[in-house]
Structure 1
Amino acid sequence: MSGACTQGVDTGFVVLGATKVAILGVVQGITELLPVSSTAHMRLVPALLGWQDPGSAFSAAMQLAALTAVICYFWKDIYSITAGSIGAVRTGDWMSPKLRMSVGIVLGTIPIVVAGLLLAPLLNACDSPLRALPVIGFSCLIMGILLAVAEFVCRHKRQADDMRLRDALIVGIAQVGALIPGVSRSGSTLTAALFRDFTRQDAARFSFLLGIPAIALAGLHELVVLVHAHLPVQGWAILLVGLVAGSISSFAALWGLMRILERFSTWPFIIYRIALGIVILWISFG
């Protein structure tokens, strides 16, 4: 189904109602932080259930739920990096790993901010061609293959404290791919970090820390867009239901992901992504 529009902004979630949005909030929350593409699930699940497409505005605003989960889970890291960076600036310790991490996060955020601003009209448009199922299917498939290559060819030995600015910029450029539905922000950044030979746990940790500014900016920007689109009070209430459900499920998904990467590898997600891409393409062209 095509999305509903509010002054040119895709707001299909409003017509779904609180119950359906809560269900989609759980799905979005689980898939937002896993390297499996939340957008793919936000298109596929409603399509299979015969529901209205919740729209790109819902997916973007729901990143605030993921942001809440990431901040809560990595709070000690965030505090340590922030305090360490401030201390390094005060003492002139310009080689501090904490300061290097902070600068790297800022540097790695620049590419997606620039690309996001340039592509915003296309990304938020009603019936955006980027949300077409074939685009999402091919994106899932390609990213699954790239993640598999990273598992095969990379050594997974480097630690996050060994991160260089070049690493941050490369992962930041990879993050731009998340603007294409089906790619997945965590999937693209995790894959890029693995290609830089980071351990799986530290690749995920750096991926999420790097993503905090981008997720925050995207979510807050979408709230501003919805305000300017004069979203009705009912719409805000429904969105809040989705955000609460998404925050809880995002934290659970993040906890599970880190446990899996500590003990195993990304192969469960690789197999799932490739299978999902094939299913979406089969639905699209079958």
Structure 2
Amino acid sequence: MSLIEIFVLAVVQGLTEFLPISSAAHLILVPLLTDWDDQGLTFDLALHLGSLAAVVFYFRREILLVVHDWGGSLVTRRQTEHSRIGWAVLWGTIPVGIAGLLFKDLVETTMRTPEVGAIVIACSLIGFGLLLGLADWRFRGERTERDMRWTDVLVIGVAQALALIPGTSRSGITMTAALFMGLSREAAARFSFLLSIPVIVLATGLQLLELRDPEVQIDWRSLWLGSLVAAVSAYACIHYFLAFIKRIGMQPFVAYRVILGAILLWIFL
């Protein structure tokens, strides 16, 4: 891969992984809209590991508290606000894990073909984008992630499973569900970011199992550079996104999704 390909793909991954605009859609669209070859599973894995490093480092203090109190709750059976977040992340991950195992082949084959993939992405961008706009406009509240009920966790977890559809956006659909359940914008975003950690770990773990073939040639320079650029851009994205939505909200991302989806329909239909 050329340096420009590595840089563009890594920045796209880093900026879109945590924005409600679908990183998977953009990574699929780059080779579709250029003459570049598909970057392949190995490079995607490196980019996701970079994003994982960024979110873990950004929330490192909260993660330490969550892990400590969650572990303590296993022994003492007593819950704190941090242990409840830990349990919420765990239970919220189960639906997407089950859905991923059941529909993995369908998502990675049929939905990624140029003919089907672009249309699916376009429809998902528009449909789930409008749903995000409605949730942000009519249903968002002031509750934080520490005030979540188990019904909130169930709804958000089930919604996250829809992110297997290209163009949906894992962060977008989880924020949408959280807003519908009455969480504030910042709380919806923070819980979505924490919820991304086990999802990325599970997804990259499955991909690593598929890369055990010793005959596969690996371009380590591209992987390390791509991972580093993705991590830096993802960290910046998290920081500025949390400040941005507090003042302006989700509507600019809704407009972007609808416009991009409409352009894709115009190009591919």
TM-score computed with the length of structure 1 as normaliser: 0.86
Distance (Å, rounded) in 2 between the aligned partners of 1:177 and 1:229:
34
Deviations 1:250-284 (A, max 9, x none): 11111111111222211111111111111111111
Unaligned segments of structure 1, at least 5 residues: 1-15
Tell me whether 1:165 sits opposite 2:175 in the alignment: no
Tell me whether 1:21 sits opposite 2:6 in the alignment: yes
Tell me whether 1:252 sits opposite 2:254 in the alignment: no
Contact kept, 8 Å, 1:174 with 1:189, in 2: the verdict is: yes
Contact kept, 8 Å, 2:28 with 2:112, in 1: the verdict is: no
CA shift in 2, pair 1:184/1:222, >3 Å: same
Q: What's the offset of the Cα at 1:40?
A: 2.1
Give the SS at the match of 1:50: coil
Tell me whether 1:110 sits opposite 2:94 in the alignment: yes
Deviations 1:78-119 (A, max 9, x none): 11212222344444324x222222111111111111111122
Deviates more, 1:137-146 or 1:151-160: 151-160
Distance (Å, rounded) in 2 between the aligned partners of 1:73 and 1:191:
22
Deviations 1:131-188 (A, max 9, x none): 6101111010011100011012214211111112221121111111111110111011
Q: What's the offset of the Cα at 1:58?
A: 4.0
Tell me whether 1:153 sits opposite 2:138 in the alignment: yes
Give matches, 1:1-286, under 5 Å.
16-55=1-40, 58-59=43-44, 61-94=46-79, 96-125=80-109, 128-129=112-113, 132-228=117-213, 230-234=215-219, 236-285=220-269
Distance (Å, rounded) in 2 between the aligned partners of 1:180 and 1:200:
24
State the AA in 1 paired with 2:172.
Answer: G
State the AA in 1 paired with 2:244.
Answer: I
Q: What's the offset of the Cα at 1:57?
A: 5.6
Contact kept, 8 Å, 1:39 with 1:59, in 2: the verdict is: no
CA shift in 2, pair 1:247/1:237, >3 Å: same
State the AA in 2 paired with 1:30.
Answer: L
Unaligned segments of structure 2, at least 5 residues: none
CA shift in 2, pair 1:259/1:147, >3 Å: same
TM-score computed with the length of structure 2 as normaliser: 0.91
Distance (Å, rounded) in 1 between the aligned partners of 2:200 and 2:186:
20
CA shift in 2, pair 1:134/1:57, >3 Å: farther
**Paired positions, count:** 268
State the AA in 2 paired with 1:144.
Answer: G
Distance (Å, rounded) in 1 between the aligned partners of 2:45 and 2:125:
18
Give the SS at the match of 1:192: helix
Contact kept, 8 Å, 1:100 with 1:165, in 2: the verdict is: no
Contact kept, 8 Å, 2:145 with 2:188, in 1: the verdict is: yes
Aligned CA-pair RMSD: 2.2
Paired-residue identity, %? 39
CA shift in 2, pair 1:168/1:19, >3 Å: same
CA shift in 2, pair 1:227/1:123, >3 Å: farther
